[in-house]
Structure 1
């Protein structure tokens, strides 16, 4: 039980020190919107200035949230009442649509997302994930009949029942906070699980805003709990607490390894969506202009802060310089700056720390022999970094192997299709990729040889609520979205009875 002091600190009346114009959000714990003893600032990455404050959830509050989720799963009919879950998801979808403009403003300011991105993968497309799972519950069968078999002269009827997996700890990264939160939350709720959702310290208000919206719906107390904060111990509790049955995490591969190790003591189910170093392969019969435009503008989307972006561009050796010039021309057209400006294509990196990391990787790449063909400089105010093009990159170099998470494209030459496939697969990651060719069958043949969880052929878009998303190798375990995304949160129970009247 929480102490009296802790209980007082989590009351709705607890004060947050903030200026009148600051954005302030609260935690959602057991159906109540609460604050905390401490707060921490949220920074506008386009200016470097504080614009709001978030409650810094304590370990005690995380414990309260976990126990609330456990109680809601064990003592209510949430896990078995499919019709009620379907109605609640529809209600949540409508509430998100009703608040979309407020969420848009918050996302632009806190995440550094551009206006056009909020109309796509940063906000409006993630909201549609909720509707997808609400609709899926209308048709999805949680049972599967396996028929009758004869065992030693007796008829036995067998069937499967798919049950909710239990309490889910969902931990999201900063780059697409609504997408990452809703891609975990919606399928888990559809499956009948209860959830403790923790947002990233860099974008806490965006995730906490979802909690405030959920508090207005009929989703029962404890079914969804939303935390924010900087305490490492809170994340450790979520991944080790015996009342948590499953952990779903999006973030870096090193942190994913630690989470998997921490969860092993209690054998929790773990779903990981981790890093990527995806390759776009441009074959010698491709439309080079199309490929340069697609890959060039893709890598600067959200300043390159996307795990599935193709950050390696593999090109025929004899056409290397030609394609570099085409990408260069496209980079020169990228408008970056204030993400509130509808004409801005690229916003800032999330923090000075992240920008320093990106710049360090670029500078080391040049020192190791890569050619800086474009960009490579910090831009201020805010945490902007120029679209950066590195040519003549060696496939084993740091810049070709490490995830940059910035607007940096490494161009790597190859000799033939086999060489291109080998270079693409020369990575610890296997999240996504792409191929460009004038011959669709040749492109498909290459695509099938590259070991990734998603793949684009000549610019094909796989990203949708009904398409499973995840990676091979050290890019992750499990899938988000689609039917597979919900089934990650289900346990399968096999039952048999002696058949009657057969």
Structure 2
């Protein structure tokens, strides 16, 4: 039903230059469902060369009408392939079907349309008027121009959302792109390449997809002087390495990194409601989301109630086959990730915590972890400080607003979070003190194509989505002429 995964290099769908490939596994079963081209260093070099040539020698960077037509074609192609694309995402990523109405498919595809509509009205030039700096009357214009060749490096957890959140704005801005997805989820990226090649007028070389398994082969995307910008989403450790690798050539770097977001229930909140909602959130896609709230901070006198409600909620959700229409929590992506989460569960006990529910690997084919609530730890524990990327929620007591704010901000991360109170004014006052890039207050939803997303501190640099996300892919040029 879905075409085999292929590279897209300079307008051509192709296998790896040496014919090598690697298995794509279904994380729900651990079984092979397809193979991806194991792109060589020569393949990556060819993709970079094609993107450089397309930016320097074609009209893509200057022809807004062409970009509008091509992006609308891509949007239509994605909508036409919706059912197959969603089925592939569930099989390759292990993402439950209910997420397709949000980050799995609908929101990223809506985001592509949103940034295309923005392109239609965006003012690339601003007239600053006449001034006389140093006595010379001059008319000044500020012009926004595409940054150039973009290396988009994306993770495995919500690949279509993150692929399109980079590729859409970059192409709309007039950049050319080399997309390098995670080796765990190369197929959905390859499908995006196929749609571009077969259903759009995007010129050869403007958009390229390479799927090397080797980090060493992919590393050239951060160092090659032909690349003008690296746009990366993934772990903070890898983001640091990319930033360091890009430094010698002073590339522009966009980083959307890890999170350890806090859900705060204030003293006047409905703690049971907050605990249930936060436990539900921590189960979504087996907790494999950078913005998921994985620390629940509740009033000390209501701590036991919060733990009990969170545990009961997780037990009612369970871990199910992502193809099951009722699934909320599916498998984690791989054996490596399952082992990593299991190591944190052992650490929870070593640090003095206990499991209100869960705490174990599920012994069945595929890569499964029980939804888990950890009690008895404070915010200094590694489970409260480090990103686990599994269905694991740590419940922490607080002693009033100041203490709740202190705990929430006592983190190397600052990506997301929530604040709940019986009073909106009270919740907003506390939210203003939380150092994080996105916040839900009393159940508000911030995730939308027009809303900038990104983090403070070690959660990243820059913003994705919204006008701010589009402008990440633009340079600013000031021009003065005699008045």
TM-score, reference length from structure 2: 0.97
Corresponding residue for residue 293 of structure 1:
276
Residues in 1 aligned to 2:135 and 2:373: alpha-carbon distance in whole angstroms: 72
Residues in 1 aligned to 2:269 and 2:177: alpha-carbon distance in whole angstroms: 46
| 1:259 equivalent in alignment to 2:242 | yes
Answer yes or no: is the 8 Å Cα contact 1:143–1:162 preserved in 2: yes
Displacement after TM superposition at 1:390 (Å): 0.4
Corresponding residue for residue 210 of structure 2:
227
Displacement after TM superposition at 1:384 (Å): 1.2
For the residue of structure 1 that corresponds to 2:321, the secondary structure is coil
Q: Can you list the C-alpha shifts for 1:21-64, whole angstroms capped at 9, x where unaligned? A: 99621000000000012100000000011111000000100000
Corresponding residue for residue 213 of structure 1:
195
Residues in 2 aligned to 1:381 and 1:154: alpha-carbon distance in whole angstroms: 75
Residues in 2 aligned to 1:383 and 1:400: alpha-carbon distance in whole angstroms: 23
Corresponding residue for residue 13 of structure 1:
none
Worse overlay, 25-34 or 437-446 = 437-446
For the residue of structure 2 that corresponds to 1:136, the secondary structure is helix
| 1:106 equivalent in alignment to 2:88 | yes
| 1:398 equivalent in alignment to 2:382 | yes
Residues in 1 aligned to 2:257 and 2:98: alpha-carbon distance in whole angstroms: 25
| 1:430 equivalent in alignment to 2:410 | no
Q: Can you list the C-alpha shifts for 1:140-172, whole angstroms capped at 9, x where unaligned? A: 100111111134654311110000000000000
Corresponding residue for residue 12 of structure 1:
none
Q: 1:387 aligns with which of 347, 371, 381?
A: 371
Corresponding residue for residue 445 of structure 2:
461
Q: 2:351 aligns with which of 335, 355, 368?
A: 368
For the residue of structure 2 that corresponds to 1:157, the secondary structure is strand
Corresponding residue for residue 410 of structure 1:
394
Displacement after TM superposition at 1:292 (Å): 1.6
Q: What is the CA RMSD across the aligned residues, in angstroms?
A: 1.2
Residues in 2 aligned to 1:210 and 1:153: alpha-carbon distance in whole angstroms: 54
Q: 2:144 aligns with which of 141, 149, 162?
A: 162
Query: Where does 1:324-343 land on structure 2 (aligned, <5 Å)?
Result: 324-343=307-326
Q: Can you list the C-alpha shifts for 1:48-98, whole angstroms capped at 9, x where unaligned? A: 111110000001000000010000000011111111111111111000101
Q: Can you list the C-alpha shifts for 1:400-450, whole angstroms capped at 9, x where unaligned? A: 111000000000111111111111111111111111101111111111111
Residues in 2 aligned to 1:203 and 1:107: alpha-carbon distance in whole angstroms: 9
| 1:117 equivalent in alignment to 2:99 | yes
For the residue of structure 2 that corresponds to 1:378, the secondary structure is coil
Corresponding residue for residue 16 of structure 1:
none
Residues in 2 aligned to 1:325 and 1:114: alpha-carbon distance in whole angstroms: 26
Q: 1:94 aligns with which of 76, 98, 108?
A: 76
Displacement after TM superposition at 1:240 (Å): 0.4
Residues in 2 aligned to 1:371 and 1:445: alpha-carbon distance in whole angstroms: 33
Flag as ranges the 4+ runs of structure 1 deviating above 4 A: 151-154
Residues in 2 aligned to 1:389 and 1:369: alpha-carbon distance in whole angstroms: 14
Corresponding residue for residue 11 of structure 2:
31
Residues in 2 aligned to 1:151 and 1:403: alpha-carbon distance in whole angstroms: 51
Structure 2 vs 1, CA of residues 109 and 161 (structure 1 numbering), >3 Å: closer, same or farther? same
Worse overlay, 405-414 or 353-362 = 353-362
Answer yes or no: is the 8 Å Cα contact 1:23–1:51 preserved in 2: no
TM-score, reference length from structure 1: 0.94
Q: Which runs of 5+ in 1 are unaligned?
A: 1-20
Corresponding residue for residue 195 of structure 1:
177
Corresponding residue for residue 14 of structure 1:
none
Residues in 1 aligned to 2:85 and 2:295: alpha-carbon distance in whole angstroms: 33
Corresponding residue for residue 267 of structure 2:
284
Q: 2:290 aligns with which of 301, 307, 317?
A: 307
For the residue of structure 2 that corresponds to 1:373, the secondary structure is strand
For the residue of structure 2 that corresponds to 1:169, the secondary structure is strand
Corresponding residue for residue 40 of structure 1:
22
| 1:490 equivalent in alignment to 2:474 | yes
Corresponding residue for residue 11 of structure 1:
none
Residues in 2 aligned to 1:253 and 1:494: alpha-carbon distance in whole angstroms: 34
Displacement after TM superposition at 1:381 (Å): 2.1
Q: Which runs of 5+ in 2 are unaligned?
A: none
For the residue of structure 1 that corresponds to 2:137, the secondary structure is strand
Answer yes or no: is the 8 Å Cα contact 1:251–1:273 preserved in 2: yes
Displacement after TM superposition at 1:293 (Å): 2.1
